[in-house]
Amino acid sequence: MEEVSFRKARASDSEFIFTVKKAAYREYVEQVWGWDDNYQWERHNKEFASHDFHIIQFNGTDVGILVISHTSDALKINQIYILPEYQGKGIGSACLARIIDDANLEEKSVVLQVLKVNTRGIDLYRRLGFTIVGENSIYFQMEKLPE
């Protein structure tokens, strides 16, 4: 049986995390701001030092990254990226389903923001019950209420 699991990122995962983000997110960043490798690497180093990264594994293979933060009333998905060659296989949906289940147990919402140009991501979130609750010129803010 195919299985999705998470493990806490180690210091040695930093380069993998940047590689995943670049592979999965670069096309959207290019459309909005343009991609500057040096700037993105500096930003990654700051985020890696200050965020609690998890590695998404599929059948024991590292395939993506996840960063979640907790507030008193919500689980916030800060980052979720799957390597392109593993997209479309239900891995993202499985990850999000687990996050939603955890939030439901705590009677919390799940919140995130997504670039408006990321229509595949928006479609996925809508399929899983997220609704748009706000927006600015670049992002939609989305929420899935507890069941």
Please give the domain boundaries of the chain with CATH numbers for all domains: 4-144 (3.40.630.30)
Asked if 113 and 137 touch (Cβ cutoff 8 Å), the reply is no
Query: Token digits for 31?
Result: 């459309």
Asked if 102 and 75 touch (Cβ cutoff 8 Å), the reply is yes
- Dump pLDDT digits (tens) for 42-86: 999 999 999 999 999 999 999 999 999 999 999 999 999 999 999
Q: What is the mean pLDDT of residues 96-117?
A: 97
Task: Give CA–CA dist 32/17, Å, rounded.
Answer: 21
> Across the strands, what pairs with 18?
none
Q: Which stretch of DSSP H or E encloses residue 114?
A: strand 109-115
Task: Give CA–CA dist 122/8, Å, rounded.
Answer: 26
- Dump pLDDT digits (tens) for 30-49: 999 999 999 999 999 999 99
